[in-house]
């Protein structure tokens, strides 16, 4: 069925609403999972099992005083969190989050509207997503530079080197799957894996490199150098408070979801039905697993030094990615 404007708008609203909510819920999950892994209970007091904690946090973030430092560039300072949040959600627009569906006809007004799996099924989906995420670099970078704080500057510098470097790894690692599938559209990836084996098995090296790059790009442990408390206080977010800081937060979690969805779609068979599982459930479980993996890694591993980070990127991961591309090319040719 052809995607109508209404359907795309609905999809966009769903993504915005649900992903923001899920991003918030993600913080709850993160705290809970980390707590359990450390034999703690985590948030327990707001609502049953602390489920309403995000609500409390939200209220807190909304009602906190909004501070802009005296010497900050006020415009850029105010703009930077919006860039992070916006790029994160824009990136999601090209990602198939759910299978296509039609709103049941008994619902008034919207009944019978077709909602596509991807808000914008552009044929260069992956490129768009990666590009948008790369553009997200501007958020932390500008934030760090605008706030007139040395920790912010350091955070911004780290942002620049880390995001730019690992953009290379992510791009090169995903090149091999693209070569196999022969398309940049994520829908095509999904279709490919409905007929072939999951790409994580045929392209394990690319899968691992993509995960590592994804961790780095979403600023997750072990690559959370941008705002590592022990070193740079809070990095680019040092001077931010209230909802401005909350937007960075949402952006970060939206990015985590984006990476999770990309991984699930590209490497883990997408939203195809799986054995007895319907496709929508299968993709949710896959996304959830990748998300969980991020938390799990955070609970387990220490983070790396900036020099190790660079060394790892340029001397190890990038060459491997190139080699992987070359070998894949050779295999396809043969």
Q: Tell me the C-alpha distance between 26 and 250, whole Å.
A: 10
Q: Tell me the C-alpha distance between 11 and 283, whole Å.
A: 17
Of 62 and 311, which has the nearer Cβ to another protein?
311
Of 61 and 313, which has the nearer Cβ to another protein?
313
HEC readout, 59-83: HHHHHCCCCCCCCCCHHHHHHHHHH
Of 39 and 333, which has the nearer Cβ to another protein?
39
Residue from 1, 9, 17, 37 binding another protein (CB under 8 A) = 37
Q: Is 235 left (phi over 0), alpha (psi -120 to 50) or beta?
A: left
Per CB under 8 A, 314 contacts another protein? no
Per CB under 8 A, 51 contacts another protein? no
Per CB under 8 A, 40 contacts another protein? yes
Per CB under 8 A, 72 contacts another protein? no
Question: Least Å distance between CB 319 and another protein?
Answer: 11
Residue 22, CA distances (Å) to 14, 122, 140, 239, 253 in order: 11, 25, 22, 26, 8
Per CB under 8 A, 301 contacts another protein? yes
* Cross-strand pairs, 115: 101
Question: Least Å distance between CB 122 and another protein?
Answer: 37
Question: What is residue 219's three-state secondary structure?
Answer: coil
* Binding residue count for another protein, defined by CB under 8 A: 14
Q: How many CB atoms lie within 10 A of CB 6?
A: 14
For the CA atoms of 217, 219, 222, 228, the dihedral, rounded to the nearest 10 degrees, stands at 150
Residue from 297, 304, 310, 322 binding another protein (CB under 8 A) = 297
Residue from 25, 49, 280, 296 binding another protein (CB under 8 A) = 296
Q: Following DSSP, what letter does each residue of 136-181 receive, concatenated?
A: TTHHHHHHHHHTT-HHHHHHHHHHHHHHHHHHHHHHHHHHHHHHHH
Is residue 240 within 8 A of residue 315, CB to CB? The reply is: no
Binding region for another protein (CB under 8 A) out of 35-43, 81-89, 95-103, 211-219: 35-43
Q: Tell me the C-alpha distance between 151 and 137, whole Å.
A: 17
Per CB under 8 A, 212 contacts another protein? no
Per CB under 8 A, 300 contacts another protein? yes
Question: Least Å distance between CB 320 and another protein?
Answer: 11
Of 52 and 233, which has the nearer Cβ to another protein?
52
Residue from 36, 62, 201, 314 binding another protein (CB under 8 A) = 36
Binding region for another protein (CB under 8 A) out of 36-44, 79-87, 96-104, 257-265: 36-44
Q: Which residues of this protein are in contact with another protein, per CB under 8 A?
A: 33, 36-41, 44, 296-297, 299-301, 316
């Amino acid at each position: 069925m052809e995607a109508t404007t209404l359907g795309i708008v609905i999809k966009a609203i769903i993504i915005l609403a649900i992903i923001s909510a899920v991003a918030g819920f993600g913080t709850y999950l993160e705290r809970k999972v980390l707590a359990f892994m450390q034999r703690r209970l985590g948030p327990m007091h707001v609502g049953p099992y602390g489920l309403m904690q995000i609500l409390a946090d939200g209220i807190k973030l909304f009602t906190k005083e909004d501070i802009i430092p005296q010497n900050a560039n006020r415009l850029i300072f105010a703009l930077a969190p919006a860039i992070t949040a916006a790029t994160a959600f824009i990136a999601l627009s090209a990602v198939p989050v759910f299978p296509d569906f039609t709103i049941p006809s008994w619902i008034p007004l919207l009944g019978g509207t077709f909602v596509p799996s991807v808000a914008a099924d552009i044929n260069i989906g992956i490129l768009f997503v990666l590009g948008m995420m790369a553009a997200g670099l501007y958020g932390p970078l500008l934030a760090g530079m605008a706030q007139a704080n040395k920790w912010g500057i350091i955070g911004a510098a780290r942002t620049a080197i880390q995001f730019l470097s690992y953009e290379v790894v992510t791009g090169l690692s995903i090149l091999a799957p693209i070569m196999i599938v022969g398309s940049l559209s994520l829908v095509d990836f999904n279709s490919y894996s409905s007929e072939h084996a999951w790409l994580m098995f045929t392209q394990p090296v690319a899968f691992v490199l993509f995960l590592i790059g994804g961790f780095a790009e979403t600023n997750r442990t072990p690559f959370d150098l941008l705002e590592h408390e022990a070193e740079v206080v809070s990095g680019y977010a040092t001077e931010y408070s209230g909802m401005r800081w909350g937007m960075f937060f949402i952006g970060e979690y939206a990015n985590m979801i984006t990476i999770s969805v990309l991984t699930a779609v590209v490497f883990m068979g997408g939203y195809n039905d799986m054995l007895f599982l319907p496709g929508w459930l299968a993709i949710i479980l896959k996304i959830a697993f990748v998300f969980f993996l991020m938390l799990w890694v955070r609970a387990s591993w220490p983070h790396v030094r900036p020099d190790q980070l660079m060394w790892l990127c340029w001397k190890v991961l990038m060459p491997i990615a190139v080699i992987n591309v070359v070998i894949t090319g050779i295999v396809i040719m043969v």
